[in-house]
Copies of this chain bind each other. A is one copy, B any other.
């Protein structure tokens, strides 16, 4: 096994593969990256059984072969090498990979490649195609709302539904909900729960400069994403996703239209003083023309702020988890947002005035005051 390849591409591929490296002590082979050289391709694989990557990199193959090397050391060694090209030479007898560039040489002991659980691309099953930037965008607008509570696995996922050429993704931790819709061309009918962590890895994955299609395939409890030279697989979460549509308010006693970035910075500033240990709650006094935002911590002091707003309907006094407001303001893009409110503890809907496909719902918290 012997090849040379471009250092920059090798580093990019290894960095992506690293995201699937396991840190479980009881399965050392999963701390390895599988390297397979054939045709004019070096293929990298890594998996922690939750997610897995197959990454193909163009290379000059002088002798095909396959091995597994410690992921951590392979990544660091290639990163540290000088020059722009890397030579890779595996000595079968010694079981040692020689990785070099100019006068720098690393020799890494190989792991048992036969033990590596090779990733098979999904064949058959349901599939659909979506533009990479569209998929990454709906992930970034929803996945942050999922729960990290391992006791409630269903809430750690994003719900994906395709029906009648409409794709819908939703995530909730039961205190907040983010839903994003997208028109796609697909005859598929799909309802899945995908781990939010896997979707986050995907959306921050190596991205080509040119927009490209991602083909998504499902078979049994696995989902595969294929785009360019990258294939990512993730297990699916089993269970029934709650019917979140019923908590989205259909009407509003109070409607507030406000500048998104003004609200973001006001809540960010005021939240400094709220309880640093419990929920960072901030209190909104919604009156004609203004929102007065404040928070209180008897041991520290108080913060307050006033922002202009177009308020329709009843005046209202209500408190929120500041983080839930800040997160949503950060993923929205429009200048203005619309907040629809009812009674004190009823769910509150927040919409981006420039993106009708996105809906966000939060449950208020009990006021301190």
Q: Residues of B contacting A301 with CB < 8 Å? A: 73, 96-97, 106-109
Rounded to whole angstroms, the CA-CA distance of A102 and B77 in the bound complex is 53
Interface membership of chain A positions 299-312, coded 1 if the CB is closer than 8 angstroms to chain B and 0 otherwise? 11111111100000
Interface membership of chain A positions 192-222, coded 1 if the CB is closer than 8 angstroms to chain B and 0 otherwise? 0000000000000000000000000000000
Q: Are B109 and A299 in contact (CB under 8 A)?
A: yes
Does A92 interact with chain B (Cβ within 8 Å)? no
Does A226 interact with chain B (Cβ within 8 Å)? no
Interface membership of chain A positions 63-83, coded 1 if the CB is closer than 8 angstroms to chain B and 0 otherwise? 000000010010011001110
Does A166 interact with chain B (Cβ within 8 Å)? no
Q: Are B82 and A265 in contact (CB under 8 A)?
A: yes
Within 8 A of B (CB), among A297-350: 299-307
Q: Are B300 and A109 in contact (CB under 8 A)?
A: yes
Within 8 A of B (CB), among A99-117: 103-109
Does A266 interact with chain B (Cβ within 8 Å)? yes
Interface membership of chain A positions 263-282, coded 1 if the CB is closer than 8 angstroms to chain B and 0 otherwise? 00110110011000000000
Q: Residues of B contacting A81 with CB < 8 Å? A: 269
Rounded to whole angstroms, the CA-CA distance of A204 and B59 in the bound complex is 46
Q: Are B108 and A304 in contact (CB under 8 A)?
A: no
Q: Are A268 and B300 in contact (CB under 8 A)?
A: no
Q: Residues of B contacting A305 with CB < 8 Å? A: 103-105
Name the residue of chain B whose CB is nearest to the CB of A269.
B80
Name the residue of chain B whose CB is nearest to the CB of A100.
B304
Kindly list 9 other residue pairs between chains A and B, CB separation below 8 angstroms, not including A105-B303, A106-B301, A109-B300.
Answer: A80-B268, A82-B269, A97-B301, A104-B305, A105-B304, A106-B302, A107-B301, A107-B303, A107-B304
Residues of A within 8 A of B (CB): 70, 73, 76-77, 80-82, 96-97, 103-109, 265-266, 268-269, 272-273, 299-307
Jot down 27 A-B pairs with beta carbons below 8 A, ordered by A.
A70-B300, A73-B272, A73-B273, A77-B272, A77-B273, A80-B268, A80-B272, A82-B265, A82-B269, A96-B301, A97-B301, A103-B305, A103-B306, A103-B307, A104-B266, A104-B269, A104-B303, A104-B305, A105-B303, A105-B304, A106-B301, A107-B302, A107-B303, A107-B304, A109-B299, A109-B300, A109-B301
